[in-house]
Amino acid sequence: MRNLRLACCATALAVTAFAADPKATPEEARKFINDAEQKLLTLGVDAGRADWIKSTYITDDTEAVSALLDERAISATVDYAKKSTRFDGLKLDPVTARKIKLLKLSLTIATPSDTREAEELTRITAAMEGAYGKGKYCPSGPESCKNLDQLERILAESRDPRELLDAWVGWQAIARPIRKDFVRYVELANKGARQLGFLDNGAMWRSKYDMKPDEFAAELDRLWEQVKPLYLSLHAYVRSRLREKYGDLVPAGGPIPAQLLGNMWAQDWSNIYPLVAPPNSAPAYDLTELLKKKNTDWKQMVKYGEGFFLSLGFAPLPATFWERSQFVRPRDRDVVCHASAWDVDSVDDLRLKMCIQITGEDFLTIHHELGHNFYQRAYNRQPPSFRDSANDGFHEAIGDTIALSVTPEYLVKLGLLDKAPDASSDIGLLMQRALEKVAFLPFGLVIDQWRWKVFNGEIPPEKYNQTWWELRRKYQGIAPPVERTEADFDPAAKYHVAANVPYMRYFLADILQFQFHRALTGTAGCAGPLNRCSIYGNREAGAKLNAMLEMGASRPWQEALEKIAGTRQMDATAIRDYFAPLQKWLDQQNKGKPVGW
């Protein structure tokens, strides 16, 4: 989704930028915010179109145009946000008060008031994302260059330690040139945030929740502690199996080398399933092979995802979606292939940006991204200020909730699978999903834990890389395969860091999707194990889901959560319920072996 619409997390305004005007009236406030949201909608659409071109046709010119229009939209938003402080302290009607609050919290970056610094900041952010998108590893000249897709394939498929190490080290190197820009980006982003009244840019990111800052921090700790035992069990089992494969390359009781987990960032371990599969529990099917057996092309991949939402009672995607989306990597230009869903006009110009490959992973990713698109359309009748998710974790969670319904029974209904396997194979299926979902949880915390500390000055530039790996070891139990120094800048080898996209939403989404799944499958009347429940084809579950989606950001997220789950508190027990059979099995396998690092 567009970077102009904020991303994540919570810490309320530290101080207001300007003093409230004692002569201001509630009627002035209503007129001010209604005018502001219409003007910002127009600027946002213009910037969104330029951002789309920049992402799907990377050149110096498209970066410059995108930076210019982003700067205009961001500067206008900052200007309106600062002007809105004249209404602070007024007793306003709930809608006006919420619109003004969301205005102040609607940015992932606030440009400084100085024009030259504002232009510099937007130019830097566009350049960092562009550097990431153009990143290639060329070990022996231009003819040997590999892009991220190719390097990721090596990490996913190779079992040669030398080849894995080479691909991993090669990609990390693309981030080194970003460091200088990143240091300046932090300085300017903090300056803009402080002028708006926040302590720093990280504080601005953490301010979008309808919670106090300390409550939000405590909430993250509470949720992590709920799921940590499951992660520790999974980590210990995977480490022992990788040690069987790679010998002393994997320590018996320490962190796992990052390049061995099947993913460039060790955030998703599903590609190493063949190495850690439960004995005598061969996977009942390989979704990638099922798709290829049916000669599935990119369009059918997207049609499968759309079909799920149609089965719940949602309307088809508009014709423009199929005309304007990027579905495959073009042969003639550089593009950003990182999957994302776009709502260019904030009404119904919905688009998908991907470089689709016929894999089970991309099958699930498409379901996820279309979750964004259907959410975007569901709230398009709300006032512009409320055309967003209840909180950004919700936006990420919706598509993944649908993906949890990609069960064997669902694949049978699509004709991809002849019959659902017996429940005796569930440990293998749960392992596959845990390698994706449970393995991700600590990584979902690390990205912004690091950035928040960078923004508030706790991590100075001379310790960027050192602290990055300290946090990854603390939360993930992951270590770099070779010595890293401050000449490296490994955080920016992750898209979201290079592109100024807050990340805590993904951790929350990983929690919320299981809570949503448990609630919706209950509505659908599924009484079996959670991992075998699907809402595909259930209109009652679809109506319940849509009722929440239509709310957008019009009410606090706790009310939206209550609409779908019957509670106002996020609850990670659903993830423990879902994986309970696997947790029991893992603990049996880990008896007598070290757990933790």
List pLDDT tens digits, range 6-20: 333 322 233 334 456
- Shortest CA distance to 232 belongs to which of 259, 260, 253, 258? 253
**Quick one: tokens of 381?**
């009748």
pLDDT on residue 565: 94
Evaluate if residue 592 carries a pLDDT over 90: yes
Other CB atoms within 10 A of residue 279 CB: 6
Residues 200 and 310 placed together within one structural domain of the fold:
no
> Is 561 domain-assigned?
yes
Whole domain around residue 371: which residue ranges? 285-420+510-566
Indicate whether 405 and 519 sit together in one domain.
Answer: yes
Q: Is the pLDDT of residue 1 over 50?
A: no
Give yes or no for residue 510 having a pLDDT over 50.
yes
**Pair 131, 498: CB distance under 8 Å:** yes
CA-based max dimension of the chain: 76
DSSP string, 263-276: STTSS--GGGHHHH
Confirm whether 137 is domain-assigned. Answer: yes
Residue 5 predicted with pLDDT over 60:
no
The answer as to whether 467 is a domain residue is no
280 pLDDT more than 50: yes
Number of structural domains (the chain) is 2
Q: Are residues 189 and 296 in the same domain?
A: no
List, for residues 419-440, the tens digit of each pLDDT value: 988 877 789 889 988 999 999 9
Average pLDDT over residues 378-402: 93
Q: Which amino acid is at 390?
A: A
Establish if 453 belongs to a structural domain.
no
Q: What is the per-residue pLDDT for 181?
A: 97
Inside any domain, residue 194: yes
Helix 392-404 and helix 539-549, axial crossing angle in degrees, nearest 10: 170
**In the numeric block, which tokens belong to residue 153?**
């394939």
Domain membership flag for residue 442: no
Q: Note the pLDDT tens digit of each residue in 200-221.
A: 999 888 888 888 766 787 888 8
Question: Does 324 lie in the same domain as 200?
Answer: no
> Do 293 and 202 belong to one domain?
no
Q: Which of 397, 382, 390 lies closest to 346, judged by CA? A: 382
518/377 same-domain check: yes
Q: 408 and 535: one domain?
A: yes
Range in 170-179, 420-429, 567-576 the model is least confident about: 420-429
Q: Which helix (H) or strand (E) is 352 found in, with range?
A: strand 350-353
Q: Check whether residue 290 and residue 198 sit in a common domain.
A: no
Give a yes or no: residue 14 inside a domain: no
CB contact set of 479 (below 8 Å; sequence gap of 6+)? 254, 255, 256, 257, 258, 469, 472, 473
Mean pLDDT computed over 154-172: 97
Helices within 261-318 (DSSP H only): 273-276, 287-293, 298-311
- Each residue's pLDDT tens digit, 23-51: 899 999 999 999 999 999 999 999 999 99
Same domain flag for 201 and 308: no
> Do both 297 and 204 map to the same domain?
no
> Which among 186, 208, 230 is the end of a domain?
208
Judge whether 526 lies within some domain.
yes
pLDDT in tens, 390-400: 998 999 899 88
Cα distance between residue 422 and residue 391, in whole Å: 38
Contact indicator for 421, 268 with CB cutoff of 8 Å: no
Measured in whole angstroms, the distance separating CA 134 from the mean position of its chain's CA atoms is 21
What pLDDT is attached to residue 282? Answer: 67
Q: What is the mean pLDDT of residues 332-358?
A: 93
Domain shared by 200 and 92, yes or no? yes
How far is 595 from 597, CA to CA, in rounded Å? 7
C-alpha dihedral, 386 to 199 to 441 to 502, nearest 10°: 50
Q: For the ranges 67-71, 314-318, 469-473, which has the lowest average pLDDT?
A: 67-71
Q: Mind telling me the catalytic residues? A: 338-339, 368-369, 372, 396, 496, 506
Q: Are residues 290 and 375 in the same domain?
A: yes
